[in-house]
Amino acid sequence: GRQHCRISDQETNGKNSTASSNDFSDPVYKEIAVTNGYINRMTRDELRSKLAEFKLETRGVKDVLKKRLKNYYKKQKLMQKEAIHGDSYYDYICVVDFEATCEEGNPPEFTHEIIEFPVVLLNTHTLEIEDTFQQYVKPEINPKLSNFCISLTGITQDIVDKADTFPQVLQNVIEWMRQRELGTKYSYSMLTDGSWDMSKFLNIQCRISRIKYPSFAKKWINIRKSYGNFYKV
């Protein structure tokens, strides 16, 4: 459920959102170094003036002002690099957010089973949602949903009783991706809010269903981590 419930800057060996390979031979890092040298030679008044121009905090000792301005320029340079080379990343992002069986208090011995498999297909070139996949899943170990789970997810007992079991739903997902030529004509990555959707819920579910963990889910973008790293929160 959502209480996990809340799926590197990727938690994978996939492509990063800024300096993907940590290859500091990229010309952008030379530009950053030159800018840092220029900032080092600025007076305190010049630093404050430049920070004010960018609507940044102007208070602090000179070293603090230098660091603040350097960080600002570095972020801008890396964002420009990403915009220029954006097409070298992914054509599509598949946003996933499972719903799973749950009980109030989230007892550690409780086995979570996926009861909804939703995917939103985002075109990274247009930033438009092009398609969606959504199917409910019939749980096997705990087929009766708790009142807490029904209240939390909005998924009723009648819905899961009529649903397919996980192996069939997973096969439907794979076929949906194949029809949209993901991984053949178009590059793509899965994206989740946090790591639990893939590393816990899907991993556990595949073991329950005695099926192989799908190759498309072996790496993913953790948007929670990317957001936190970018905004320093």
Q: What average pLDDT does range 20-28 have in this prediction?
A: 57
- For residue 18, what pLDDT band results from cuts at 50, 70 and 90? very low
pLDDT at 193: 95
Q: Would you say residue 229 has pLDDT above 90?
A: no
**208-217: per-residue pLDDT in tens?**
999 999 999 9
H or E stretch at 120: strand 114-123
137 SS3 class: strand
Q: Would you say residue 6 has pLDDT above 80?
A: no
Task: Using alpha carbons, list the distances in angstroms from residue 143 to 46, 147, 197, 204, 211.
Answer: 67, 13, 20, 16, 19
Compute the half-sphere exposure of residue 113: CA atoms within 13 Å on the CB side of its CA: 19
Residue spans per domain, the chain: 27-85, 92-228
Q: What is the architecture of the domain spanning 92-228?
A: 2-Layer Sandwich (3.30)
Q: Would you say residue 183 has pLDDT above 50?
A: yes
Note the Cα 1 to chain centre separation in Å: 18
CATH number for the domain formed by residue range(s) 27-85: 1.10.720.30
pTM of the model: 0.63
- In this structure, what are the phi and psi dihedrals at residue 94, rounded to the nearest 5 degrees? -100, 105
